[in-house]
Structure 1
């Protein structure tokens, strides 16, 4: 069973992603900030990380860069909401800083299957449509 680390300071989003991913046969580990995410990343070595970009303490960009240094082959999807243009800017930066793919919030139910599929693929294989 693949493991996904969901990193987001919004408990409602974490719970929603947990339910959707678990119903798709994925084990979920949750973190509410970048510092907790790094502890869980080291301890669990998840198959995939879904990381929000705007969080307290260590933000998502810092967290993604730290994960990438620790495990260059890690699979990471950056997510962000908070205003469409600002989110898109942050997501573009996240791609440059090491995220394999980016998704704008809210995450659609239809994207869950693509996320789960990404757990089993090689890091370089694109699981999501371009521009998503």
Structure 2
């Protein structure tokens, strides 16, 4: 659903089936934005955030989480503490997610052209 929304908005989307696949994909590609679920197999979203944070030039990160009320309250704040620029709870407000993605990508382009 998220990938389809980004594709329809004109973005090129790369998808990974789990955290380790995402890390492998990002090891040899430069991307403008990473949207990661917090809870996923093999490497969770926190690991994605921490590993990408170590890169000298990393893309902006948006964390997404669902689950119990407690998890939805705690996980986005933790993702931001670890380095995510934004966090969204499921069910997602796709319009808000796309707006934030556009803002983050636009801010990155502004920084690189200045």
Richer in helix (by share): 2
- The match for 2:6 is 21
Q: Does 1:61 align with 2:46?
A: yes
TM norm structure 2: 0.85
TM norm structure 1: 0.74
CA–CA distance in 2 between the matches of 1:54 and 1:33? 10
- The match for 1:36 is 21
- The match for 1:117 is 103
For the aligned residue pairs, the C-alpha RMSD in angstroms reads: 1.9
What 5-or-longer segments of structure 1 have no aligned partner? 1-15, 124-132
CA contact (8 A) 1:91 1:102 kept: yes
What 5-or-longer segments of structure 2 have no aligned partner? 110-114
Richer in strand (by share): 1
Matched length: 109
